[in-house]
Structure 1
Amino acid sequence: MPHTVRRTGDIHPCPGTSPGVARAKEGRRNDPTATLTRTRSIRTYLEELMTTTATTDVPLSQPLYGASFGQSIRRFFTKYATFTGRASRSEFWWWFLVNAIVGIVIYGITYGIGISGAVVNDQGVLVLGPAYWIGLVLAIAWGLGTIVPWLALCWRRLHDTNRPGPFYFLGLIPFVGGIILLILLALPTDPAGARFDA
């Protein structure tokens, strides 16, 4: 129920709003040309967003800022073992998401089919079924197939933050290394990182 103020006899939708402002807001809501203008401005904005340099052809030697999901995956495999140049945050995080999803799916397959033929031996230990090895082979194949481009992508992402690629090895510090590396990979772009371009 709207709040009413009865000083002058007018009913206000809320305190502090004059009747003229309330009528103007109501008129804009019901005006079909205002709705059309808002729709056009949203459409224009989306068209401009879709045709920015992020979605056009950027040389592989340059980072693709605002890369889409598909562009990030394509660039990941195209620049398979390229450790020079830079990679934008969107290139990195889209691939990070894909890699996490694929890892979860492979893990689910591995243990899902492994449990199906599992038995408990005489010592009470669960022995996974023979189908477990199919999932394990998938996991090993995925890991071996993506380790080199993953390292290259991390290397290039560090270059984009104006840090040399060997900072990746900070991730090997026990307990805190992974956190340090994750923070470095999440940092914004530093234009001085252009020094790493090939």
Structure 2
Amino acid sequence: MISYFDCMLRYFEFSGRSTRRQYWLFFLFGTIACGAALFADYTIDGANLAEGEYGPFTLFAGLFHLMPGITVTVRRLHDTGRSGWWYFIQLVPVIGSIAMLVWMMWPPEQGENDFGPDPRDARAQASWTRPPRTTIPRQVRMGSSAARERARRNDAGEIQRFI
């Protein structure tokens, strides 16, 4: 579930890398959400799926997951060492879809590549001297431990409050 929320928080972020786990869990939860929206449209609105009618819930869920789906796919391509421009290979019928499916299951490049450090390597994340380029504040993107901690003890044992 954390992988899904990480992808949703990185809504417009094409830079960096995403793991296979992040990619597949995002699409699993996105498919479940769209399926629930289809069911809601069918039961509440009476949408006729055989005629291609989609209700408001389905359209909202589909559009809501469209951009993060593109960005997580581009970041997954970066994890395999490919440029994000390879995303457009899907426009080639059959061959493009098969190539993309294979690449999404492809093992990652170990260590740092042209698109950033390996997201599985904790040492690489800790050794960054500057934060990655993103428009999302770090506290929102990574979760802030300072926001969760209401009090912290200093060297003298006194409690310091942070707001």
With the length of structure 2 as denominator, give the TM-score of the two structures: 0.62
Q: What's 1:170 paired with?
A: 89
Asked whether the 8 Å contact 2:41–2:55 carries over to 1, the reply is: yes
Task: Pick one of 141, 146, 161 that aligns with 2:60.
Answer: 141
Q: What's 1:40 paired with?
A: none
Shift of 1:96: 1.2
Asked whether the 8 Å contact 1:86–1:159 carries over to 2, the reply is: yes
1:75 maps onto 2:2 in alignment: no
Paired letter, 1:85: G
**Is there any run of 5+ residues in structure 1 with no aligned partner, and where?**
1-69, 119-125
Cα distance in structure 2, aligned partners of 1:149 and 1:193: 23
Shift of 1:169: 0.9
Shift of 1:74: 2.0
Asked whether the 8 Å contact 1:92–1:153 carries over to 2, the reply is: yes
Q: Which has the higher Rg, Structure 1 or Structure 2? A: 1
Q: What's 1:196 paired with?
A: 115
Paired letter, 2:93: P
Asked whether the 8 Å contact 2:40–2:57 carries over to 1, the reply is: no
More contact order relative to length (CA 8 Å, sep ≥ 6):
2
| RMSD of equivalent CA atoms | 2.6
Question: What pairs with 1:31-70 in structure 2 (closer than 5 Å)?
Answer: 70=1
Q: What's 1:38 paired with?
A: none
Question: What pairs with 1:1-198 in structure 2 (closer than 5 Å)?
Answer: 70-115=1-46, 136-191=55-110, 194-197=113-116, 198=132
Cα distance in structure 2, aligned partners of 1:180 and 1:127: 31
Distance 1:111 1:183, change over 3 A: same
Q: What's 1:43 paired with?
A: none
Structure 2 residue matching 1:194: 3-state secondary structure: coil
Q: What's 2:153 paired with?
A: none
**Is there any run of 5+ residues in structure 2 with no aligned partner, and where?**
117-131, 133-163
Structure 2 residue matching 1:162: 3-state secondary structure: coil
Shift of 1:146: 1.8
Q: Percent identity?
A: 28
Structure 2 residue matching 1:74: 3-state secondary structure: helix
